[in-house]
């Protein structure tokens, strides 16, 4: 059954059970767990994310911390929970600082156990919250790092993924060890910044910090950085928390710029099909999560495009 965003809003307002949107869902295909990160749904109201996933048929989610907190009534923060790109004006920076201060105060006064209610909302729709995406940088306080792990434990996830830096990964390693929980550095394509998780060497460096530090390999970004994700996955599968699936072009040679565009799947150079087939063959247990970042075509929307990406995965594993 297909539902429009207007339908989702009506159902949320009416308090309708999300389970009514579809029968039991299962997006594990040939032992490959396909899911999505909630980032794929952009600035869609958080109340629409669960019914959207149910309508698509995705049974696994990588929940972004800002979406999780919004479901609990946290103060508004810039979209992406720290993933924002581009330059900001002084006024925007000041406003962001105020938002972050309000959020910090809210976090420190909120019991992490409260987030069990968020997990329940997903579970009731047949969706398993396997990964918490909590992006943090070097200026995060120890209390904020601890908060991230407490939230993850309340959600019952297998691991935390994070867009961060090499220096922060070294800081977080003792927390991951303390909680016996994997923390996966989310890779990007900027091979010119030694603090980014972009090269095999930088992933190796962060994994040397402790046995609970791993890789959230974004196979699109890894391709745009000039590397083949398949050898990396074969070598490091035991330390991979999850994959992000997207399609990007390889950089021109010699590499002077890794800023290639995100493209509709099948138009880039990322070996999405081959990666999924490798996962099926080797029965890797980590999830492969759709991360929608390409420009939405005119007349379409994010739910439609995530559904297309899921179909691409099903076709690859047919």
Q: What is the pLDDT of residues 275-314, one digit of tens each?
A: 999 999 999 999 999 999 999 999 999 999 999 999 999 9
CA separation for the pair 288, 273 (Å, rounded): 12
Q: Where are the domains of the chain?
A: 27-316
Return the DSSP state at 40. Answer: G
DSSP states of 221-239 as a string? Answer: HHHHTT--HHHHHHHHGGG
Q: How do residues 207-255 score in pLDDT, each as one tens digit?
A: 999 999 999 999 999 999 999 999 999 999 999 999 999 999 999 999 9
Mean pLDDT for the chain overall:
90
| Residues near 7 by beta carbon (within 8 Å), at least 6 away in sequence | 51
**Domain at 27-316, CATH from 3.40.50.720, 3.40.710.10, 3.40.50.300, 3.20.20.150:** 3.20.20.150
Beta-bridge partners for 36:
61, 290
Of the candidates 113, 126, 115, the one whose C-alpha atom is nearest the C-alpha of residue 50 is 126
Assess whether pLDDT exceeds 60 at residue 13: no
Each residue of 20-77: pLDDT tens digit? Answer: 444 589 999 999 999 999 999 999 999 999 999 999 999 999 999 999 999 999 987 6
Confidence of residue 97 (pLDDT cuts 50, 70, 90): confident
Inter-residue contact 220 to 236 (CB < 8 Å): no
């Amino acid at each position: 059954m297909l539902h429009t965003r207007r339908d989702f809003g009506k159902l949320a307002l009416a308090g309708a059970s999300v389970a009514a949107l579809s029968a039991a869902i299962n997006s594990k295909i040939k032992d490959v767990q396909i899911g999505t990160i909630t980032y794929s749904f952009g600035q869609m109201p958080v109340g629409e994310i669960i019914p959207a996933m149910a309508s698509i048929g995705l049974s696994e989610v990588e929940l972004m911390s800002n979406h999780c907190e919004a479901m609990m009534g946290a103060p508004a923060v810039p979209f992406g929970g720290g993933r924002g790109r581009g330059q900001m004006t002084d006024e925007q920076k000041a406003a962001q600082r105020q938002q972050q201060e309000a959020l910090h105060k809210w976090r420190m006064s909120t019991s992490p156990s409260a987030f069990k209610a968020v997990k329940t909302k997903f579970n009731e729709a047949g969706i398993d919250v396997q990964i918490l995406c909590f992006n943090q940088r070097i200026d995060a306080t120890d209390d904020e790092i601890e908060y991230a792990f407490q939230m993850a434990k309340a959600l019952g996830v297998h691991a935390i993924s994070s867009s961060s830096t090499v220096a922060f990964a070294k800081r977080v390693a003792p927390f991951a060890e303390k909680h016996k929980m994997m923390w996966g550095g989310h890779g990007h394509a900027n091979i010119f910044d030694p603090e980014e998780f972009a090269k095999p060497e930088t992933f190796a460096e962060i994994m040397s910090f402790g046995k609970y530090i791993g890789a959230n390999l974004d196979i699109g970004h890894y391709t745009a950085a000039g590397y083949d994700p398949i050898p990396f996955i074969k070598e490091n599968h035991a330390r991979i928390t999850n994959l992000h699936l997207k399609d990007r072009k390889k950089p021109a040679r010699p590499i002077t710029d890794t800023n290639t565009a995100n493209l509709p799947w099948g138009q880039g150079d990322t070996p999405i099909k081959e990666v999924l087939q490798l996962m099926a063959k080797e029965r890797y247990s980590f999830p492969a999560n759709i991360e929608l970042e390409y420009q939405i075509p005119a007349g379409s929307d994010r739910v439609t495009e995530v559904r297309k990406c899921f179909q691409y995965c099903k076709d690859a594993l047919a």
